[in-house]
Amino acid sequence: MRIAIIGAGALGSLFGGVLTRGGHDVWLYNPSNKKHIHAIQKNGLRIQTGDGDFEVKPNATTRLAEIPLPIEVMGIFVKAYDTERAISDALPLISTETWTLSLQNGIGPEVVLAQHVLNGRLLRGVTAQGATLIEAGIVRWGGRGPTQLGLFGTKSGQLDDSLENLCATLSSADWKTHFTPEIEKDLWVKLLVNAAINPLTALFNVPNGQLIADKELNAILHGIIREALPVTRTHGVQLSLEEAISHVEGVCRGTAQNLSSMLQDVRRGKRTEIEYINGVVAREAKALDAQTPLNSLLTRLVMRSPY
């Protein structure tokens, strides 16, 4: 299978690296991190795991025109705020057979993608995999978790043979993937995870596992979830508060060593995805007349952090 990764940062490179190891023809594309792409071209991609490292040699480029066609899977891994630019540039890679697959954080990228991807093959997914970009050419697999994929748009909820095959192909390459008939609901469950983990780890400069170990941070984590839950309920999430906390804490444990994507952004002085995560919670809560002081405060604090 030929796979193009648009926006090969931490998670995109990990996804591409794992699929390269699984025998697929992977093209990593990232025009804004030339150092990372050049390091992969020169020395390959090193993936650190808890049980030893492995090295793979995916194709890597900063020029879209170098990626050969046809592309079977085009993974969109850019930051949520970069989706419009990325999909506009990458449109020439899409044929009638191409799956466009987004595992991006936040709520919103799927709406932008749906305006461009018109072949009925837009897949939105959520993942609990943890990835940290250690330095150019080196990614740490900071925790494993399942990925859920569903069709977004008019055919939402449907599973056909080709989608079932895709999930099986990704799983057999060690990227455990399940079809979900309820992708919108799953996006909001993932939003709970990111709303609780990302800003706290970014502001306190701690790995995900510390949100369990540190009692004060853990209490704030619970507060964020408590506030966000009524918003997620309007999108079909039916978890009780206890279930929601247990789910988020499960991700903290599963990715205990991982640095959240927001912490990695803040450390690099980059713009974060806070407006697409806690910002969405605060905005939607307003429409419900619900109070979300923690989510609003965290949004403002993270937006104030210099980048």
Min dist CB 221 to ligand KPL, Å, is: 12
Q: Is 234 helix (H, G, I), strand (E, B) or coil?
A: coil
Given 30, 59, 105, 295, the residue binding ligand KPL (CB under 6 A)? 105
| Residue closer to ligand KPL, measured from CB, 93 or 248 | 248
Give the interface segment with ligand KPL, choosing from 27-35, 61-69, 169-177, 250-258 (CB under 6 A).
250-258
- Identity of the amino acid at 12: G
Number of residues in contact with ligand KPL under rule CB under 6 A: 13
Please state the separation of Cα 280 from the chain's center in Å.
16
Min dist CB 255 to ligand KPL, Å, is: 5
Helix 215-233 and helix 241-254: axis angle, to 10°? 120
Task: Tell whether residue 272 is a contact of ligand KPL (CB under 6 A).
Answer: no
295 burial class (0-12, 13-18, 19+ CB within 10 angstroms)?
A: buried
Q: Which residues participate in catalysis according to the annotation?
A: 190
Strands (E), the chain: 2-6, 25-29, 45-49, 52-56, 59-61, 73-76, 99-102, 122-127, 130-135, 138-143, 147-151, 177-179
Task: Tell whether residue 298 is a contact of ligand KPL (CB under 6 A).
Answer: no
Min dist CB 77 to ligand KPL, Å, is: 11
Note the residue count of the chain.
307
Task: Tell whether residue 261 is a contact of ligand KPL (CB under 6 A).
Answer: yes
Min dist CB 197 to ligand KPL, Å, is: 4
Task: Tell whether residue 258 is a contact of ligand KPL (CB under 6 A).
Answer: yes
Give the interface segment with ligand KPL, choosing from 41-49, 190-198, 235-243, 286-294 (CB under 6 A).
190-198
DSSP annotation of 68 reads P
Closest CA to 77 of 106, 53, 55: 106
150 burial class (0-12, 13-18, 19+ CB within 10 angstroms)?
A: buried
Q: Where is 24: in which H helix or E strand?
A: none
| Residue closer to ligand KPL, measured from CB, 59 or 198 | 198
Q: How does DSSP assign 170-183, residue by residue?
A: HHHTT--EEE-S-H
| Residue closer to ligand KPL, measured from CB, 71 or 251 | 251
Task: Tell whether residue 194 is a contact of ligand KPL (CB under 6 A).
Answer: yes
Min dist CB 71 to ligand KPL, Å, is: 25
Min dist CB 207 to ligand KPL, Å, is: 9
13 burial class (0-12, 13-18, 19+ CB within 10 angstroms)?
A: buried
Given 58, 106, 125, 130, the residue binding ligand KPL (CB under 6 A)? 130
Task: Tell whether residue 221 is a contact of ligand KPL (CB under 6 A).
Answer: no
Binding site for ligand KPL (CB under 6 A): 105, 128, 130, 193-194, 197-198, 208, 251, 255, 258, 260-261
